[in-house]
Amino acid sequence: MKIKSSDQPELNLGFGDHVCNWGIHIAGLYENDTQRDDIIYGFLNQGLIEKDIDLFCPVERSIDGFIDSFASHCGRKKSELLTNDNFQILPAKDIYYPNGTFSPFEMDKNLNSFFEESQKNGPRNIRATAEMVWALDAVPGREHLFAYESRLNYFIPGKPWVSICMYNTTKFSGSTIMDVLRTHPYTISNGVLMQNPYFIDPDIWLAENAPQFLYSKDS
């Protein structure tokens, strides 16, 4: 299935024969491990095939457990994955709250730094995905999660970047899933990638829900 998500070049997402364009922010909704892994394994394995940078944060299992399972499922050697600088598997704390507190502004800075560093030796495509259940833990600042998700819609467009934020619908409340839908322009659910009719432009969503995080050139 092909969907035109921007004017950037096309990419194969790696699952469900889905093709879209770079610069896309997707909510991955799943109910069980099989649905989760169908997306994540295909997405990251396609990144390895294309020599993209893969960035992933497993939470519902250990990093070692994920790498073992991924290697087995995708027919790859674990040693190959562990020595591949393009395959970056990191704990949630290292990505979302390295200083102990989650902050959308700090996330902006860290993502921009990561992106600038990744492009120093020439253009590189980046595939990022994470299991968002880390936000169910008592992490200071986690109440600002959707301000961050909304602000990602400023960061991602125009870049050779795809983010799939994975939300387990059996663990998050219905109201939280509605916030997921309001802050992601595209969804993948039950094997279907689609433009999300519930998405709200970040200028509007932030103004109504988190005005302190409204985008400005100084933020």
How many domains would you assign to the chain? 1
Model confidence over 92-136: pLDDT tens digits?
Answer: 999 999 999 999 999 999 999 999 999 999 999 999 999 999 999
Residue 49 lies in a domain: yes
Residue 3 lies in a domain: no
Residue 4 lies in a domain: no
pTM of the model: 0.96
- Is the pLDDT at 219 greater than 60, yes or no? no
Model confidence over 12-69: pLDDT tens digits?
Answer: 999 999 999 999 999 999 999 999 999 999 999 999 999 999 999 999 999 999 999 9
pLDDT given at position 170? 97
Q: Which domain holds residue 137?
A: 10-212
CB neighbours (10 Å) of residue 218? 4
Task: Name residue, tokens 């294309």.
Answer: 50
Residue 143 lies in a domain: yes
What's 103's domain CATH number?
3.40.50.300
CB 191 within 8 A of CB 38: yes
Model confidence over 127-160: pLDDT tens digits?
Answer: 999 999 999 999 999 999 999 999 999 999 999 9
Model confidence over 162-174: pLDDT tens digits?
Answer: 999 999 999 999 9
pLDDT given at position 216? 73
Residue 2 lies in a domain: no
Q: How confident is the model at residue 1 (pLDDT cuts 50, 70, 90)?
A: confident
Q: How confident is the model at residue 218 (pLDDT cuts 50, 70, 90)?
A: low
Token pair in block for residue 28:
């991955």
Token pair in block for residue 139:
């992490």
Task: Name residue, tokens 């902050």.
Answer: 103
Task: Name residue, tokens 């502004």.
Answer: 105
CA distance 23 to 153: 9
- Is the pLDDT at 207 greater than 90, yes or no? yes
Residue 218 lies in a domain: no
Residue 176 lies in a domain: yes
CA distance 149 to 146: 5
CB 45 within 8 A of CB 72: no
Residue 1 lies in a domain: no
pLDDT given at position 217? 52
* Mean pLDDT of the 70-84 span: 96
Return the percent helix, strand and coil in the chain, to nearest 5.
45, 20, 35
Q: How far is CA 66 from CA 36, 131, 142, 187, 203, in A?
A: 12, 12, 24, 23, 37
